[in-house]
Amino acid sequence: MVELLVSGAVWLIFWGVLTLRVASLVFVRLRFVRVRKTLALEELYEKHFLVELLEFPPQIHLTERDSLMS
């Protein structure tokens, strides 16, 4: 009877540790994918912003430019 309880406890601990390990790996992987998507979106936004600046440079009127110069 004691052997059965010990065996059951060992199996329970084994499967618990295995389940936690797999869950943590899945969580880390999902987090990595989310971070990678965020970085890709930021890079895309920066490229789009730079292209937009090159295509449509900001127009500064003479009065604004003069006030900036002084």
- pLDDT for the residue 12: 95
Return the higher-pLDDT residue of 67 and 6.
6
H-assigned helices in 1-70: 2-55, 62-69
- pLDDT for the residue 57: 63
Angle, CA 61 vertex, CA 68 and CA 56 arms, to 5°: 105
- pLDDT for the residue 35: 82
Q: How far apart are CA 17 and CA 28, in angstroms?
A: 16
7-18 tens-digit pLDDT:
999 999 999 999
21-54 tens-digit pLDDT:
999 999 988 888 888 888 888 888 887 777 777 7
